[in-house]
């Protein structure tokens, strides 16, 4: 019986794109593999839209900082952190745009399930970079406005908050 189920799933995946495969995901949705890929792609794009807004705000802030009169008051550590943050902002922007670029290149080639899997991995990396960017910008501002000691506290607290909300909270919700 288990072998028949595996063979059936294998046959379903090898069907042409026009065939309709029954739902075997166990999530209660009655959708084909293509419909599932379309739905997952739409959800991924919504996540990217939210992420890009935050990335744009932080990137704009960082770019504006360099043109402020007090920018010359940054010490070497602050200037180094600033450059790292600009690089992180550029990386976050590029990562956020990668699934869109891939979609443009693979559009019409019936590769959406592969695109969704790849895009989901890229979004995870983009979230990691965005988290580091948000924590880093906060650290830079606190360091400049208050002190290096206060910046270290902001860095530690920011890291704990991001880890708690982005890693621990989803695991806790998943257990309930």
Q: Say whether pLDDT at 15 is over 50.
A: no
Instruction: Tell me the mean pLDDT in the region 142-164.
Output: 97
Instruction: Note the pLDDT of residue 60.
Output: 92
Q: Say whether pLDDT at 164 is over 90.
A: yes
Winning range, highest mean pLDDT, from 16-25, 44-53, 140-149: 140-149
Q: Say whether pLDDT at 12 is over 60.
A: no
Separation CA 28–CA 13 (nearest Å): 19
The tokens of 128 are what? Answer: 């990691």
Greatest CA separation found in the chain? 74
Work out the burial of residue 74: count CB atoms within 10 Å of its CB; fewer than 13 is exposed, 13-18 middle, 19 or more buried: middle
Structure letter (DSSP) for residue 20: -
Instruction: Please write the tens of the pLDDT for every residue from 86-140.
Output: 999 999 999 999 998 888 888 888 888 888 999 999 999 999 999 999 999 999 9
162 compared with 107, residue with greater pLDDT: 162
CB atoms within 10 A of CB 62: 20
Which pTM was predicted? 0.76
Separation CA 16–CA 43 (nearest Å): 25
- What is the separation of C-alpha 67 from the centre of its chain, rounded to a whole number of angstroms? 29
């Amino acid at each position: 019986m288990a072998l028949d189920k595996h063979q059936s799933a294998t046959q379903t995946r090898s069907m042409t794109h026009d065939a309709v495969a029954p739902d075997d995901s166990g999530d209660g949705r009655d959708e084909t593999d293509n419909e599932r890929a379309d739905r997952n792609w739409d959800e991924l794009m919504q996540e990217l839209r939210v992420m890009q807004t935050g990335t744009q705000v932080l990137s704009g802030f960082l770019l504006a900082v360099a043109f402020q009169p007090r920018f010359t008051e940054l010490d070497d550590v602050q200037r180094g952190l600033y450059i790292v943050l600009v690089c992180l902002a550029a990386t976050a922007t590029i990562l956020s745009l990668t699934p869109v670029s891939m979609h443009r290149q693979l559009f019409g080639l019936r590769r959406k399930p592969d695109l969704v899997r790849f895009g989901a991995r890229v979004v995870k990396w983009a979230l990691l970079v965005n988290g580091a960017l948000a924590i880093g910008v906060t650290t830079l501002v606190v360091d400049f406005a208050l002190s290096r000691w206060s910046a270290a506290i902001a860095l530690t607290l920011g890291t704990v908050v991001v880890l708690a909300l982005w890693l621990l909270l989803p695991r806790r919700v998943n257990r309930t």
